[in-house]
């Protein structure tokens, strides 16, 4: 077994200024969320950047489509950057990571084995503005093609630097803080019970869970210190799952794009039922989590999970739900073959996944 954190992490108030220490680069390609331009963080970052030429792409769409990314990669081949910077949420960072592969290795195809990807040379910097995806330290980039999410996985797209400036997540709307916070929580929980979990990943996952438990609801109220701690907890959870991988909840969420819900809300919708399914094999580890978080019993942990995920039971568009149910067998089979499902503590057949999907949707007050 092994454990690694290849990314250099810079954190704290005004840590964005670290950019001025990066010298020797000629051309930068910058991907930015519109909010980062609006709040002044993009311009601040650019003021620290010392390059001869730069190209900036502002307004990256959420849950990026494959065709959009390949268009950006074509742009990269025109610009020829030696440094790529992403400032924004997980989608912005995922786009930058995917562009790095398609830019340097145009032969790449979705589903290609990681060992076939050659060494990539472009420096990648991730500056997250949301607190959930962990993309700033992970080896994965998630793209959507034909309504299905696909993961590009390679150590070659792990960012070289992650800058966690505490000011950025304070600008998140409440609903984004909620969705991303749930994503970070599920990252840490799935990493902790994963078949690849280790002493090292467990310690980091537990600390992430503790910070989330103590700061989740405060962060929804806009508490600045809680927002900062949730930001760091997200990265901790990212380090944990990069090493231990994820599980069935994320496998199911990746295949449920048809529901047209945010990734965080999909995790909130499915996780209580995945946790229930896993209990047969993972009760001991869930009990450890409960004890570490200060709960008197595993039942109290389950109640906490229900408490933070209950918002997912808000109404889902009926026509969307019906379309999903019409395709549930096909979607369940795809989820059963998602690579992440293999790391789940309990093996799930597609029929069992279908049952979890149905339970999750049936629980909605529709």
**Distance between CA 268 and CA 253 in Å, rounded?**
10
Backbone angles phi, psi at 88, to 5 degrees: 155, -160
Per-residue pLDDT of 86-140, as tens digits, reads 999 999 999 999 999 999 999 998 888 888 999 999 999 999 999 999 999 999 9
Res 365: pLDDT: 46
Report the sign of the C-alpha dihedral through residues 227, 232, 238, 241, in that order.
Answer: negative
**Distance between CA 167 and CA 129 in Å, rounded?**
9
Instruction: Say how many Å lie between the first and final Cα of the chain, rounded.
Output: 46
For the purposes of burial, counting CB atoms within 10 Å of the CB of 58, is it exposed (0-12), middle (13-18) or buried (19 or more)? middle
Backbone angles phi, psi at 235, to 5 degrees: -70, -40
**Distance between CA 188 and CA 181 in Å, rounded?**
11
Residue by residue, pLDDT tens for the chain (366 residues) are: 889 999 999 999 999 999 999 999 999 999 999 999 999 999 999 999 999 999 999 999 887 889 999 999 999 999 999 999 999 999 999 999 999 999 999 999 888 888 899 999 999 999 999 999 999 999 999 888 887 778 889 999 999 999 999 999 999 999 999 999 999 999 999 999 999 999 999 999 999 999 999 999 999 999 999 999 999 999 999 999 999 999 999 999 999 988 989 999 999 999 999 999 999 999 999 999 999 999 999 999 999 999 999 988 777 888 888 999 999 999 999 999 999 999 999 999 999 999 999 999 986 444
For the purposes of burial, counting CB atoms within 10 Å of the CB of 218, is it exposed (0-12), middle (13-18) or buried (19 or more)? middle
Nearest of 127, 126, 107, 125 to residue 117 by alpha carbon? 107
Fold (topology level) of 8-168: Rossmann fold (3.40.50)
**Distance between CA 239 and CA 121 in Å, rounded?**
22
Question: Is residue 115 helix, strand or coil?
Answer: helix
Structure tokens at 335: 């989820």
Taking the domains of the chain in order of start, what are their residue ranges?
Answer: 8-168, 172-362
- Matching CATH number, 172-362, of 3.50.50.60, 1.20.1090.10, 3.40.1230.10, 1.10.10.10: 1.20.1090.10
Say if CB 88 and CB 104 are below 8 A apart.
no
Q: 8-168 and 172-362: same fold?
A: no
Report the sign of the C-alpha dihedral through residues 296, 301, 306, 308, in that order.
Answer: positive
Q: C-alpha distances in angstroms, 43 versus 39, 168, 210?
A: 9, 13, 35
Structure tokens at 96: 């930058």
């Amino acid at each position: 077994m092994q454990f690694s954190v290849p990314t250099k992490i810079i954190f704290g108030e005004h840590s964005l200024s670290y950019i001025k220490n990066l010298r020797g680069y000629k051309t930068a390609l910058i991907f930015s969320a519109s909010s980062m331009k609006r709040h002044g963080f993009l311009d601040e970052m650019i003021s620290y950047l010392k390059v001869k030429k730069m190209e900036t792409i502002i307004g990256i769409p959420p849950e990026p489509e494959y065709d959009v990314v390949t268009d950006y990669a074509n742009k990269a081949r025109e610009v020829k950057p030696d440094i790529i910077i992403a400032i924004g949420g997980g989608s912005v960072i995922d786009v930058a990571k995917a562009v790095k592969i398609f830019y340097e290795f145009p032969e790449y195809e979705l589903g290609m084995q990681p060992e076939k990807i050659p060494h990539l040379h472009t420096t990648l910097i991730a500056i997250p503005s949301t607190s959930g995806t962990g993309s700033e330290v992970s080896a994965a980039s998630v793209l959507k093609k034909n309504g299905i999410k696909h993961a590009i996985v390679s150590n070659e797209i792990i960012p070289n630097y992650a800058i966690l400036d505490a000011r950025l997540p304070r600008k998140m709307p409440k609903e984004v803080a909620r969705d991303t916070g749930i994503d970070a929580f599920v990252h840490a929980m799935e990493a902790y019970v994963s078949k690849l979990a280790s002493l090292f990943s467990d310690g980091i996952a537990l600390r992430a869970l503790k910070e989330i438990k103590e700061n989740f609801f405060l962060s929804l109220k806009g508490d600045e210190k809680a927002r900062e701690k949730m930001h760091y907890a997200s990265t901790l959870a990212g380090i944990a799952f990069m090493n231990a991988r994820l599980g069935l909840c994320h496998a199911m969420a990746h295949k449920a794009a048809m529901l047209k819900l945010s990734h965080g809300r999909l995790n909130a919708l499915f996780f209580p039922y995945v946790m229930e399914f896993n209990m047969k094999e993972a009760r001991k580890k869930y009990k450890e989590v409960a004890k570490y978080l200060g709960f008197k019993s595993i039942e109290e942990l389950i109640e906490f999970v229900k408490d933070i995920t209950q918002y997912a039971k808000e109404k889902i568009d009926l026509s969307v739900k019906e379309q999903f149910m019409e395709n549930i067998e096909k979607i369940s089979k795809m989820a059963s073959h998602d690579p992440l499902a293999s790391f789940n503590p309990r093996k799930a057949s597609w029929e069992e996944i279908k049952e979890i999907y149905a339970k999750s949707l049936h629980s909605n007050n529709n």
